[in-house]
Structures are given as C-alpha cells and as structure tokens.
Structure 1
Amino acid sequence: MTKPKSVGSLGFRDIQFFNQALVAKQAWKVLTKPGSLLAKILLGKYCHKQSLLTVNAPTNCSHGWRSLLHGRDLLKGYLGKAIGNGCTTSVWKDTWVSLTSQVKPYGPIAEADMDLTVSDLLTDDMQWNTKRLKEVLPLLVDQIKCIKPSSTGAEDVFIWQPTSSGDYTTKSGYAVAATKGSTLLVPNSDLFNWIRDVWATECSPKMKVFTWSIIQRALPLGENLQSRGIHAQAKCIRCNELETAKHIFFDCPFAKEVWSLILLKEVVHLATATDFKEAVVAFKRAVCLPPSGITGSILPWISWTLWTARNTLIFKKRHLTKEEVATKGLRLAREWCQTQNQTAKMEKSIHVGPTRVKNRHADPTIPTCKSDAAWAKDTQKAGLAWIINGPEEAPIKQGSTVQDFVTLPIVTEALALRLGLIAAVNLGLPRIKMLSENATLIRAINNDAQNKEIYGIVRDIQQISSVFVDISFVFLSRSQNNQADSLAKQVLAGSVSSGCPLG
C-alpha cells in the first residue's frame, strides 16, 4: 500500500521514511545555516573536530541529535556543491562537477594536490584555469568549464541534487527514502497505465479506488474469496455461474441488460477480454451520447451500481431492476460532472485573468536594459546580447558576445542579463530597469530563490545591483524583445559559421 500508484499500489506514506524525510529538513537547516542559534548550539556541542557530514553519534548524545543524524544520513548520498568562489569546496572530497549526480574526480592524486580546493583551479578574474585543469583533471575539463562560478566571489553553497532549485524539500526527501534501494518498479503495459487509466480518469476519488479494488482483486467476489482460502459461495447469485469480476460486471445476463440501456457512441466488445484492465482500456473511447451530460468514462459508475445491486440482493434480499441500476449509475455520473463544471466556472469568475501588480518603476524616464540569448545545444555555444535604451526607447548602447561551454538555456539568459547589468554600471547609470524574458531567472533574483544551475551568476547580479540608486528586474514577453533576440541570434550564427572558438 505504500508503493507508488504508478505500479498499482495506493501510494500511502511509509511513516518511517516520512519521519526520516522530516528530520532531514532539520539537518539541512543546520548544514546550510550554520550561523543560526540552533546550529551554533548543536555544532558547538557535538562537532568539535568533525563536520556534520562525518561526525558519528556518541553514546551519550540526546535523542534529538541522534534523530538529526538519521536525517543527515538521507542527505549524504545526494548532496552537491554549487560553486561561487570555490574556496570551501574540496576538489577530491566534495561533489561539485555535476549538479544532478554524484560525480567526483578520481586519482591517482599527486601528493601536492591532496588538499586542492576548487578556487585553486580558477584564475584571479574567476575564470577557469584551463592549463591547471588539464594538469589535474584532464578527463573532466569540458564538463568543469560548463560550470559558471561567481565573478564577485560569492561563497559556495550546498545543494540537494534531486530538486531543480537545489533546496531540500520534505517531498523530495521522502521520494528518495522510499525508492532508495528499491527494486520494485513494475513497468506498465503498453495499453494499460495505472496513472492514466485509473488515477487520472474523470470520476470521483471513490470510483477510482473502487476501480483499483477490482483490478487488484480486492473485492470480496466468490473467485477472490476462494483464492484466499475462504470457503464461501463462489457462484453468482443471479445465474449460478462462477463469480468473477468479468462475469459480474459484463457477462452476467443482468449486467448485459443494464449495459444495453446505456447509450454509447461506440459499442464496446469485451468477448476476448481476459481481465478488467482490458475493459478499462476499451471503455476509454466509449463516450455517452448527449444529452446525458457525462463527459468521462461511464465504466466506474455503472460498475459501482452493479456492485451495490449485487450486495442489496445478497444482504437485503431486495431485487433492483435493470432500469433502476442503469438510471442510478447515469445519475451519479451526471451529478459529479455537473458539480465539476460549476466549480470550474466559479474559479474562472474569481480568477478572471492573471493578477498584475502595478510596477512602481513604470517611470518612462528610467533607462531600460533588454537582454536575451540564443543557444546551440549541439555545440554548447550561446549568443548573448543586451540593449540599453533611454527615455522613449532612445538607444544608448548595445553589445553582444559568444559564450562557450553552456549547457542550459537558463544559464544563457542569466549570463546575458549579467553582461547588460555590467554595461549599465560602466555607463554610470544611477537607475535602470532590467528586462528579461526568462520568468524563472526574474523570480530567482527578486525572491532570492536559489537555483543551482545559475547560483553564482544570480549572486553576481544581486551584488552588482547594490551600486544602483534604483533598480528593478522585470519579466518581458518575447514579442517585446525582438531586437535583443535578433542580435543574440546574429552573433551566434556568425560564430557558428566562422567556427571561431570565442569565449
């Protein structure tokens, strides 16, 4: 029951894994915020000679500290480092080459290089020292040069590799704990998919669980009871045939009469079906004809009324007619669909459109800097461009360049914005509005939200921003950024055609 829904289980949380994911949150806070009061107390008491990641639990430690180390153990296999200035990251001991997997440089290691930090592989202007990289890590040169360190000397930070942001979340921690060492993942067949055909169908949660119960043979049908060693009547109460899921819901004469009253756009043929899974797949195309008002599959609802009619006959000795069973199933389905439509209309009336906050920097006299980038995935080259305009879009200055070793589009956008910001500083502008068409980048800057792919670049942007009297970072749609987009594509095309290894 605690295994994923995608493999046919119910996806309940395993309380032990969930507890470890929760205490790992506390370990993450101590690790990433060592200046907090709690971290100072715990680290001061238990981590005199070792770091949090290597210390063992002493015999006389508190239950709280032992629990925190239990959460720490979950973090250890998925921790990485985002490079700022490289001063606190060990070349050999820390995971810093990859942001998504545990890639560590390997030996043989020269004795003089045993204590190398990543900062030793950088030049004074915070660029990668290619000569030194080829001496120390010749097999990883290209991969390392794709990492963009901070040009302003921001500190390195720990990242949690399973998330895109690099921040630890309890949800991601539970997913890691639940799947760690698990070999259970049973693939779905090409036709039947648990998520698509059961859990994502348009019906109530109760009907989804009922469908799951049928497929997993959890209903107390005669065949299922006898397979569990329960000596019960295995015959259908209506026709005295073996009571299986296929029989009670489709093959029983009473079930056939009920289905004959359901008007479907396409007739469903189940003569060759061997189990209820095949019926679920077949009914995906069986839409009820109007004016029924039913948009999703009718199968769960009619199956439910057939099941309740069977129980009514067994336990209450009351026989329901085929018309009553069919009408009840259609009514339940229609009521649920109507309720969903009404809820959707109410939400639409409340949220007519995206909420827009009036920008306090909408002053037309403030210069603007539009930045954009073009990226070639196969060559890992990026064209970076920025355009600074004065009042009434009067051009002040523009620039473009090509950047090698770029692996993601968001990195190119961040690099382009940083170049535009540096250009505005060099022009001596006291006020500037920075515009970019990458919403994720703008959120990372404005909300100080960590993004492991662009950590060093965002820290540079925030640091450089402090020299302005007034600065804002605003999202700009692509249709309003045509000039910078064209400039970036032109410089990239020129670099690709010339084949020049620009940096």
Structure 2
Amino acid sequence: MVARGGAAAARELKGCCGFALCEGEAVLRKLGFNENWIKLVMSCVSSVTYSVLLNGKPGGKVIPTRGLRQGDPISPYLFILCAEGLSSLLNYADQKGEIMGVAVAKGGQVLNKEKSSLFFSSNTEETEKKMILFEAGGVVCGSYEKYLGLPAMVGRSKYKTFRGVKEKVWKKIKSWKNSFLSLAGKEVLIKAVLQAIPSYTMGVFKLPISLCKELNSLYSKFWWGHKENSKKIHWWSWERLGVQKARGGMGFRDVECFNAAMLAKQGWRMIKNSSSLVAQVYRDKYFKNSEFLKAKLGINPSYIWRSVLSARDLLKEGLQWRVGNGNNIGIWGEKWLPTPISKCVQSPMKRFWEDMKVNKLIVPSTNSWDEDLIRGLFKPEEAEVIVRIPLSRRGSSNVRYWGYTKYGNGGASSGQNPLCPICGRDEETVIHILWSCPSSVDVWAKPSSPVHKCATEEVDFLELWSKLMNRLQKGEMEWVATIMHRIWLRRNKVVFENQFYNPSKLLQMAGEGLEDYKLAQISQEGSATTVDTADYNVMQKKWKKPGVFKVKANWDAALDMEAKRMGMGIVIRDEEGEVLVSVCDVRNHVDHPAIAESWALWKALEICNKLALSRVTFEGDAVVVINGINREVEDQSCMGHITEDIKQVFKAKRDWNIRFVPKDGNKVAHMLAKYVLELGEEKI
C-alpha cells in the first residue's frame, strides 16, 4: 500500500507538473547545490522550447510554462531530484505522525479481480482450471504475460522473450532520426535515454549475447548517423568508443558487460543484505547450507537464478577480505592481501599449514601481527605486505568488500570506474594522479623535490595549490608546477606507450624542462620577462580555544614513505589554551596517508580516555578520515574497520566530537609528528 501510494504520488509529480521552476529551484537549494550550478540548471529549464515534426519538418515553437517534461535528456536526472524531495517530505510527514494506515476491509485485503490474471501450468487439469476460474473470476494470461514490466515466464527462446527491449530502443531512435542533432546531443541521448531502456530488464535477467550485440549495433548506427536509405562509415568500432574518455574513448557502455555488472550487483546484495526477503528466498531454495559464493546451480533452477549465478565469477574478481579476527579466512587461496594483482598469498605453502586460517598469524592479546612467525612463513616482500595490513583494535569480524570503490560498497558502474592506470587501485582524479598516487608520492618524497608530502590526504587540487602558494616561494612553485607537468606526461606515457619513468629520471627531466622554460622567457633585449601571479590571500585559520569546561585535542600524522614508518603528534589544551599533555610516537609498517591519520586519531582517543576527559573536541586536518567517521553508512573499505572502531568510541562518548581544521590551525601537532620521525621513539 505504501509503495503504491508513493508510486502514484511520483507519477502525479512527473506527469502533472514536470520539473516546475519554483519547486525545482527549491529542491536544488535544499540539497545543498552551489548557487552557480543552480543557475545553470534552471537556465536549461527556463529556456526549453518544443516543436512538432510535421512531415519531417519542425513546426512553430511551443514554450512550456511548467519547465521540462518527460522526454527531455535532462529530465531523468531532474526527476530523481524531485523524487528525492518527495521522499524527504513523506519521511518528514511520517515522523510527525501525519501519515496513517488505510483500512482496506474488515476481513483483510480483497483481491482486485480487474487487475489480476491467472497462469496455469501445462500439468493442470481442465476441470481444475474451470473450477479456479469460476471461483476467482480472473482472466487467463498467455505464456509471456508480463508482471511489473518483466516476463513472468521465460521460454526456450530467450531472444523472443526479450526482443521487446530492442523494439523499444528502435522506436525511440526512429523518433529522433533527423539532422538537427549534434554529436554532443547524440552522446547525451545514447547515455541518458537509449542505454537506460534495457537497464531495468538487465538488472534481473541475462540478455542473449545476440541481442546484446544488436543493441550495441543500434547505438553505433545512431551515433554515426545512419539513415533508412543510406549507411555511414563506422570510423571506430563500438568497443573502442566504449573506452573511458580519459583514455581516448567516449565512455559508452557495452550492453553485455553492463548486464553482467548489474547481475553481479544482485549477488552482492545477497551477500551484504542476507536478511532481505529476496536473499532469504534464494538461500532457502538454492544454498540453504552454504553461501552464495559457493552455491550450485541446483535442479530445475529459475532463469533469474541462472542469470545471477552467471555473473558470480565477475563478483569474485572484485571481492576481497578485510581482515578482522581472521577466523574464517584461509591463508592460501583467499583474497586478503592488498597486492595489485593476485590479492592472494604467493609464497610456497608450508607443511601442516594447508587449512590454517589467518587468525593463526595474529597475537590475540594485542590484536597485532605475529611478525616473527610471518617472516618465517612467507617471502620477505610478502611478509612486509602482511605486517602493514591494519588490524582492528576491537577484534571485529572479517568483512568482504568491493575493492574498486572508495568505501568498499559495490555498484553496477564500479567495474567501469576509471581507475588509475599506474597503481590500478584508486579512482583516477587530478589530485590522485598528481599527488596521492603511490608513484607520485615517491616523486615528492625525494630529497631534491621542493615539497615533502605529509600524511594529510588532499582531496581537492585547487585547495592543495592554494596551500602550496602560501608556503612556497615563487621559484619553488615553478619547480612544483614543472614536476606536476612531468607526472602528467608520465601518466600519458604509461597509457599510450606503456613506458614508465622512475622518480629520479622524472625529476631530472623536470629540471631540464624548467631551465628550457626560463631560457624561453628571456626577451631579445636580454631581460627576463616576469609573469604576475594571482594574489592568493587565503584566510589563515589559527588555533582557537575550546568552549567553557571543554578541552581540545589536536592530532596529526607524518609519513616516511621510504621507511614505511609514520609519526603521530597529539597536543591537548584546556579552555584557556594551556597545554595539558603533548605526545608524539612512531609506528612502523604504515604506507598509506589515511591509515596513518587514523592511527594518530586512535592514539589521541586512547590518551583522552586514560585521562578520563569527558568533554573533548578532536581537531585534525585529514579531510578523508574525518568525513569517513562522520558518514552514517558503514565504511566497508580495506581500512574501514579502523574507521568503524573510531565511530564506536564516539558513540559511547556522547560529549566527544570531531571536526576538520586547516593545517594552519594544527601546526603544533604537525610539528610533533615530523619531529618524532627524526627522534624515533615515544615522547610525552
């Protein structure tokens, strides 16, 4: 009843008022979009016009008074925003108790015979059919009757069952066959409309390969401008057009691959939401005494189960173990190592260790790795990888996570996210390529580089650039810009020519490039031209005192990438700004900035807990860590158990809170973290 009521309200919103100007602008502003973005979107809505094709020629313009309507390429995205607003209003009304249940009948719900139909198996006797029809008053449906837009029964010919999807795509393309669409317009229509048509069906069923190829062919023909009586040359294959834009393609989806990704998503939901109704039904029928990843096809399985099971291998490729207590993770054969390729242990298997679990490598009393045992069992390089894996301080259970997303939660599009072509681990962004990628970190860690990267993981390139502008001289900034340029060129070399430069060679080439640039700036009169830089007057955020009867704990971390060692600095002050305690300590086997910042925060939590401080504000400059802690959704990434441990501490300590502060307001903790790297031991 609630679902149908919400659907009716959504249909009313969609059909009657479209994306109305006043409502749409209010929704965008309420969701926190930037004002410039809101103006751009609303200009698209307010400037829309329509024209009707008569005999292939457009007629006069029609200017709608209520904004966009169904059929516009941008309409699906804006409708999602309106639906989000509707959902929020319904939830708000429900919390206030304004939504009440509706009594359908005294004796329970009554079957709506006008909207019901019956389907009989071929084994049903004619007398039984007649009796049921007489009692129910329903209408017998055919073999391919649809329910909720999907076929209720799938026959032997899968192509005939699902060819309606192709017909829908073809009808849509025929209505667009004119010469008024630019390539940019075609791209939007393919991605937002055409490729969205089969998505609903592909989320449940595996489409025949021949049908997938025909859909790709339709998309390709539309892209290259085929007409009924003429054909155009396909200068690029559809596979090449499907390559990500960052790598020279257009980013179009391959139907077969996306179908497999969506079915793998269903398997992922069965694993993560095992208490859901669909997971319980399929578990009781197909893998009652097992788990989804080990389930068998079974006897006389449904086509939906066959479809989901066909994508299980794809799911297995991306699934990894996050080690908690290690009880149910096999040492050999399981994916639990953060290595770039195999994720499995490659060291020779030791005798009597064939069936051992990872918990045998952990010291239970301290929840830490048994380094002596590990270095005796595995190769040196593999042992080093193992001891760097962070373990939960609370001994949390092991969790499977999706290794191709930031927070470990799988998605149908996560298999197609543009990953960094060098490390192959994180999403390829500007800040990642130029700053956060391990290959870039190695460059910045060299003694000859103008900056030595600290533990803070930057998330915005412009913010990073502003910080550097405030700290470095003009000559150093020129050196930084040249190095970044060379890092980008190295990335292109890897992608297009499969060549990689080591940090020393990259810095050498950057130095030569900077000298060439300076020589080129010398004018014919012999005087060097100077370029005025913009005035970056970034507000300096100084440390501020906490409130009355409160203390403030600032924490930071510094990372030595070459030694795989981190330093942590904590300083705790009272309401007058007087230092209560300051601590600096080191930790070995750490090579990730976010992990280093998390361990520094955990150290600060331990100190405040030992001092029995009741009202504490924790301040740090690690945006990624703080955002992860403040997220309500569980962090299922490789370091998510540390984040979840910290969340539990804050839940238990109601008067403790955490917030971000720029590095200028966290200088003391940062200096302590760098100092202890040179000192090498804990100081209080």
Structure 1 residues 227-376: aligned runs within 5 Å: 363-376=547-560
1:121 touches 1:132 (CA, 8 Å); kept in 2?
yes
Aligned counterpart, 1:15: 255
* Secondary structure, counterpart of 1:388 in structure 2: strand
Is residue 2:561 matched to residue 1:377? yes
1:84 touches 1:455 (CA, 8 Å); kept in 2?
no
- The AA in structure 2 aligned to 1:409 is P
- The AA in structure 2 aligned to 1:13 is R
* Secondary structure, counterpart of 2:553 in structure 1: strand
Question: What is the distance in 2 between the residues matched to 1:63 and 1:444?
Answer: 39
Deviation, 1:120, is: 1.2
- The AA in structure 1 aligned to 2:279 is A
* Secondary structure, counterpart of 1:148 in structure 2: coil
Question: What is the distance in 1 between the residues matched to 2:341 and 2:255?
Answer: 27
2:362 touches 2:369 (CA, 8 Å); kept in 1?
yes
- The AA in structure 1 aligned to 2:355 is D
Is residue 2:247 matched to residue 1:63? no
Question: What is the distance in 2 between the residues matched to 1:487 and 1:451?
Answer: 31
- The AA in structure 2 aligned to 1:21 is A
Question: What is the distance in 1 between the residues matched to 2:624 and 2:281?
Answer: 36
* Pair 7,387 (structure 1): closer, same or farther in 2 beyond 3 Å: closer
Is residue 2:109 matched to residue 1:109? no
Deviation, 1:45, is: 2.2
- The AA in structure 1 aligned to 2:614 is P
Question: What is the distance in 1 between the residues matched to 2:321 and 2:260?
Answer: 22
Aligned pair partner of 2:674 in 463, 468, 489 = 489
Aligned counterpart, 1:460: 645
* Secondary structure, counterpart of 2:369 in structure 1: coil
2:399 touches 2:636 (CA, 8 Å); kept in 1?
no
Is residue 2:373 matched to residue 1:132? yes
- The AA in structure 2 aligned to 1:128 is W
* Pair 446,157 (structure 1): closer, same or farther in 2 beyond 3 Å: same
Question: What is the distance in 1 between the residues matched to 2:581 and 2:336?
Answer: 37
Deviation, 1:449, is: 4.8
Question: What is the distance in 1 between the residues matched to 2:547 and 2:662?
Answer: 19
Question: What is the distance in 2 between the residues matched to 1:469 and 1:8?
Answer: 51
Aligned counterpart, 1:420: 604
Question: What is the distance in 2 between the residues matched to 1:456 and 1:7?
Answer: 34
Is residue 2:657 matched to residue 1:475? no
Question: What is the distance in 2 between the residues matched to 1:6 and 1:458?
Answer: 32
Higher relative contact order (CA 8 A, sep 6+): 1
Deviation, 1:20, is: 1.6
Deviation, 1:94, is: 1.4
- The AA in structure 2 aligned to 1:54 is K
Question: What is the distance in 2 between the residues matched to 1:168 and 1:432?
Answer: 35
Deviation, 1:108, is: 4.0
Summarize deviations over 1:390-418 as a string: whole Å, max 9, x none: 21323222211111111111111000000
Is residue 2:672 matched to residue 1:431? no
Summarize deviations over 1:78-97 as a string: whole Å, max 9, x none: 22111122223221131111
Deviation, 1:421, is: 0.5
1:23 touches 1:68 (CA, 8 Å); kept in 2?
yes
Summarize deviations over 1:296-345 as a string: whole Å, max 9, x none: xxxxxxxxxxxxxxxxxxxxxxxxxxxxxxxxxxxxxxxxxxxxxxxxxx
* Secondary structure, counterpart of 2:639 in structure 1: helix
Question: What is the distance in 2 between the residues matched to 1:60 and 1:21?
Answer: 25
Question: What is the distance in 2 between the residues matched to 1:501 and 1:442?
Answer: 25
Question: What is the distance in 2 between the residues matched to 1:486 and 1:459?
Answer: 28
Task: Provide structure 2 residue ranges, at least 5 long, that are not aligned to the other structure.
Answer: 1-237, 422-544
Aligned counterpart, 1:172: 414
Question: What is the distance in 2 between the residues matched to 1:143 and 1:150?
Answer: 17
Summarize deviations over 1:128-159 as a string: whole Å, max 9, x none: 00122123324421110110100101112112
1:80 touches 1:102 (CA, 8 Å); kept in 2?
no
Aligned counterpart, 1:81: 321
* Pair 126,66 (structure 1): closer, same or farther in 2 beyond 3 Å: same
1:81 touches 1:159 (CA, 8 Å); kept in 2?
yes
Question: What is the distance in 1 between the residues matched to 2:341 and 2:396?
Answer: 23
Question: What is the distance in 2 between the residues matched to 1:153 and 1:105?
Answer: 22
Is residue 2:393 matched to residue 1:162? no
Of 149-158 and 13-22, the range deviating more from structure 2: 13-22
Summarize deviations over 1:211-241 as a string: whole Å, max 9, x none: xxxxxxxxxxxxxxxxxxxxxxxxxxxxxxx
TM-score, normalised to structure 1, is: 0.58
Aligned counterpart, 2:578: 394
* Secondary structure, counterpart of 2:554 in structure 1: strand
* Secondary structure, counterpart of 2:572 in structure 1: strand
Summarize deviations over 1:155-186 as a string: whole Å, max 9, x none: 1211222223322122222459xx9xxxxxxx
Deviation, 1:99, is: 5.9
Question: What is the distance in 1 between the residues matched to 2:569 and 2:378?
Answer: 32
Question: What is the distance in 2 between the residues matched to 1:478 and 1:9?
Answer: 39
TM-score, normalised to structure 2, is: 0.43
Question: What is the distance in 2 between the residues matched to 1:45 and 1:37?
Answer: 12
Aligned CA-pair RMSD:
2.8
* Pair 367,45 (structure 1): closer, same or farther in 2 beyond 3 Å: farther
* Secondary structure, counterpart of 1:60 in structure 2: coil
Aligned pair partner of 1:97 in 329, 334, 337 = 337
Aligned counterpart, 1:30: 270
Aligned counterpart, 2:391: 149
**Fraction of identical pairs, as percent:** 26
Summarize deviations over 1:446-465 as a string: whole Å, max 9, x none: 10452624223212212333
* Pair 367,451 (structure 1): closer, same or farther in 2 beyond 3 Å: farther
Deviation, 1:379, is: 0.7
Summarize deviations over 1:335-393 as a string: whole Å, max 9, x none: xxxxxxxxxxxxxxxxxxxxxxxxxx984432221110111111111101111222132
* Pair 35,427 (structure 1): closer, same or farther in 2 beyond 3 Å: farther
1:429 touches 1:468 (CA, 8 Å); kept in 2?
no
* Secondary structure, counterpart of 1:486 in structure 2: helix
